[in-house]
Amino acid sequence: MPLDPQIETLLQHVAAEGGPAPETLTVAQNRAFGRAFGALAGAPVPVADVRDTAAVADGRTIPVRLYRPVTEPNTGPLPVTLFFHGGGWVFGDLDTQDNIARTVAVRSRTIVVSVDYRLAPEHRFPAAVDDAYAALTWVADNAAGFGGDGKRIAVFGESAGGNLAAVLAQESLRRGGPRITLQVLAYPAVDRFDDSPSMYENMAGPVLSRSYLEWFWGAYLSTPDQGADPRVSPARSDELAGLAPAVIATAENDPLRDQGDHYASKLAGAGVPVQHLPIEGAVHGFLSFTGSVQLSRDVLNQLADAVATAFHRPGPRDAVSRRTPAARKQDSDHHRAEKPYLNRPRNIQAEQVPHLDDLPAIGTRRQDPRQLGGTNRTEQHPKPPN
């Protein structure tokens, strides 16, 4: 299946640098690769404030990073988006997907709490799941302390982080925990035993091959039978009724594509409002390519806008709501004509989570001016328009 031209160019550039297959490398070498992968995001999107702190819950101290968007003075408590980075449960940290968290904060106008959960193989399943749930309860109990609303929480994850976000939505419902308003899952791993066509069509990748996926599972799980646990394979759960509405993005050239499709359909069958976005020409991890790939920027914007919609916030500065209906429709039609890969979201259920694909894209990004001398980082940012 053809790749998006900009993704193809980027991957050709990466391949030209050579190197062995990642599944043949050590954990330390893969973590170094993950840090380098994060550089593909480009210059950081400015936000109002970034602060590193710790979530203390369930007897654990979990590093987290808080991103606050630019808001009007005297804005009330903001909704909170709990973000989980990718990296196969083995690598990734608060820096590797920093720009995803920033973009979500800016466009959704929520406070993003990025979670530095414990990694395998030092901390195998269920350590990451336990950290995710502890972070959720911490946000619910302590959001007021950082200007958030602990009763309005979304979860957002990509790849392994998408797995954790999906699991968290199920666990919170099962355990009677904090209510989750929306779950956003980008190319999530949701079924350890998936043997669908995409696992063969995309066996060699790019980016994520089937053998590399097996390497991750081997590092994350202690025993093969753990793969049947819904906290590992949320798509294998039959207790889906009542879950938070979901937005699920899958990549055409990804071995995980079909399991994401299947999970979207299974959620809809259980009565959960679902919007499925099958992204043509995309590969696993493409949301990290925002530095040079327009498709990555557009889809990340759309996912962030879905969070804004879930909390009845149309997006940056209410730019769309001020325009006439006719003007908004004209812009929307133009947007779809220019971005055909966004034309066909599968609104699996009529009561879908709406998305605002006619919002303007984030403008040109500037080099991050934040001060790195401490844990509180006050950033220079554009003044909101009147």
- The catalytic residue positions are 159, 254, 284
The C-alpha atoms of residue 157 and residue 137 are separated, in whole angstroms, by: 17
User: What type of residue sits at position 252?
Assistant: E
Report helix, strand or coil for 346: strand
CB 53 within 8 A of CB 64: yes
Q: How far apart are the first and last CA of the chain?
A: 46
Separation CA 260–CA 276 (nearest Å): 9
Residue among 24, 36, 2, 37 nearest 286 (CA):
37
Which is it for strands 111-115 and 60-68: parallel, antiparallel or unpaired?
Answer: antiparallel
Q: Both tokens of residue 275?
A: 């919007």
DSSP helix/strand/coil, 73: coil
Question: Distance between CA 280 and CA 294 in Å, rounded?
Answer: 13
Q: What is the DSSP string of 3-71?
A: PPHHHHHHHHHHHHT----GGGS-HHHHHHHHHHHHGGG-SPPP-SEEEEEEEEETTEEEEEEEEE---
The whole-angstrom separation of Cα 277 and Cα 346 is 6
Residues 6+ apart with CB under 8 A from 373: none
Measure the CA–CA gap between 232 and 60, rounded to whole angstroms.
Answer: 21
Output the CA angle 240-113-345, nearest 5 degrees: 50
* Tokens (6 digits) for 194: 């998936």
Task: List 50's β-bridge partners, or say none.
Answer: 67, 377
**Nearest alpha carbon to residue 111 among 71, 74, 72:** 71
Cα 292 from Cα 40, distance rounded (Å): 8
In contact, 172 and 180? CB cutoff 8 Å: yes
Whole-angstrom distance, CA of residue 34 vs CA of residue 60: 25
